[in-house]
A and B are shown apart, each in its own frame.
Chain A
Amino acid sequence: DADVTQTPRNRITKTGKRIMLECSQTKGHDRMYWYRQDPGLGLRLIYYSFDVKDINKGEISDGYSVSRQAQAKFSLSLESAIPNQTALYFCATSDVAGELFFGEGSRLTVL
């Protein structure tokens, strides 16, 4: 089983719908992240969390919210999806040594 698991792997939805992307990890790391990947732009940080009580905005947090339900779980929500949120979303974890471990990505299409 993967150390960082994302669900769903692929999702197609309509404008205005609420969407939740879920992430769970078995690495025991405190730090978790959500990134968004767009062609030609690389990956950009949406939100990150040091631990269950700590949530921080990244560079592109507008239109997104997150919830850290437990050390192992970090979910990303789009309250009202719009087409320009069509992208590949990655969850990642890290330990104090700094290496990030990524999930397999969730491809979201907003029509």
Chain B
Amino acid sequence: AQTVTQSQPEMSVQEAETVTLSCTYDTSENNYYLFWYKQPPSRQMILVIRQEAYKQQNATENRFSVNFQKAAKSFSLKISDSQLGDTAMYFCAFMKRTQGAQKLVFGQGTRLTINP
């Protein structure tokens, strides 16, 4: 079974700083996806970024980028030029690549606070 671990329950940085959220996972699969989801106080789950394991290039979405280390099973999220609106819970998630149902396995979450 796959497991996802986020070792930082809470983090806090000043606005405009760069912050990195850690995520490690355990799997014997070779084909899979990794995701970072954001959950603001509105509690909506919002996809931030997605990485396909067969792609060596790290995914980037505007101020959000990942450092995907497949051998180390590490998938960290970097937020550059952080903004107050980035305050949220962040969840790392793993999904085995399959033709069937896409079942996500989530980490415990990291509560990120951006201070003015």
In the complex formed, the residue of A with least CB distance to B50 is A99
Are A41 and B101 neighbours in the complex by a CB distance under 8 Å?
no
- How many inter-chain contacts with C-beta < 8 Å in the A-B complex? 54
Are B101 and A43 neighbours in the complex by a CB distance under 8 Å?
no
**A interface: dominant SS:** strand
Are A50 and B101 neighbours in the complex by a CB distance under 8 Å?
yes
| Residues of chain B within 8 A of A41, CB atoms compared | 108
| Residues of chain B within 8 A of A98, CB atoms compared | 33, 95, 97, 102
Choose, from A17-25, A66-74, A100-108, the stretch at the interface: A100-108
> Which residue numbers of A lie inside 8 Å of B, CB to CB?
31, 33, 35, 40-45, 48-50, 56, 58, 88, 90, 92, 94, 96, 98-100, 102, 104-105, 107
Q: List 28 contacting pairs A-B, 8 Å CB cutoff, sorted by A.
A: A31-B102, A33-B101, A35-B104, A40-B9, A40-B108, A42-B91, A43-B45, A43-B104, A43-B106, A45-B103, A48-B101, A48-B103, A49-B101, A50-B100, A56-B101, A58-B103, A88-B43, A90-B45, A94-B101, A98-B33, A98-B102, A99-B47, A99-B50, A100-B45, A100-B47, A100-B102, A102-B45, A104-B44
